[in-house]
Amino acid sequence: MQPFRRGRYQARLADTPADIRAAQRLRWLCFMAGNGAADDGQQIDRDALDDTCQHMLVEDAASGHLVCTFRFLRLSGGAEIARSYSAQFYNLAALERFDGPMVEMGRFCIHPDHRDPDIIRTAWAAMTRYVDAAGIEMLFGCSSFIGTEPEDHAEAFAMLKERHLAPRRWWPRVKAPRVFRFARALRLRKPDPKRAMAAMPPLLRSYLAMGGWVSDHAVVDPALRTMHVFTGVEIRAIPAARRRLMRAAAG
């Protein structure tokens, strides 16, 4: 994929070890330093999947400063779902039947000192280009809420239960040892839509705007101090108006 410029930001694929280390360093700042870990300026967030994923970098075009990163793993279809990061935490046997190219997005983060909404728009524009060029038919991944207390996220979870649960044919089952079954626990709770959407992580809001869906439970990750839900979107199910907007942004 060629570098892509949108306003003041440029998106490109990492192509050197230094690029990947910069992405891993930003991930550490977002996921670990944000949880109070001491920082000596050298720590990185790394796992084995980094070697098989591609890494997207969104930089300030003028300064070259890295403001956003995520990685993605291309699968030929559902038969390869066990290779994904998400499969460590969710029973994805239902998705093994998905017959089409898939991409798992993960480790999505935005530099804590940068809150320009054009950053996430640039990231999605770049991903839209990749999806169109590669003929991808499903995007999926884990969307994280900061903090492990279910009540802190109850409004958002109630909205997910009410409107955004996965289709039964793709239903993610419980696998992780620590989960919060929000669809069951909050079955009688009616969400306030405005408050609920304000509490959604930015990445998850983007998925939902595309017609995305989630698991009926959240996995508790004590190491990162987060709770995450499995999230998926079928490309052909994205509303036509939204698809036009995304492709226009992708140029």
CB of 118 within 8 A of CB of 73? no
User: Looking at residue 165, what is its pLDDT?
Assistant: 98
- CA 246 vs CA 2, 96, 141, 224, 241: distances in Å: 18, 28, 19, 31, 9
- Residue spans per domain, the chain: 4-249
Average pLDDT over residues 207-213: 95
pLDDT tens across 21-49, in order? 999 999 999 888 766 666 666 789 999 99
In this structure, whether the domain defined by 4-249 belongs to CATH 3.40.630.30 is answered with yes
Residue among 219, 144, 141 nearest 174 (CA): 219
* CA distance linking residue 158 with residue 162, whole number of Å: 6
The residue among 89, 70, 61, 71 whose CA lies nearest residue 178 is 89
- Region 140-167 average pLDDT: 96
The pLDDT of residue 37 is 61
Helix (H) or strand (E) segment spanning residue 71: strand 66-75
pLDDT at 35: 65
- In tens, the pLDDT along 90-110 reads 999 999 999 999 999 999 999
Whether residue 85 is predicted with pLDDT greater than 70 in this model: the reply is yes
Residue with tokens 């492709």: 247
Question: What per-residue confidence (pLDDT) applies to 246?
Answer: 86
Residue 2: the pLDDT is 86
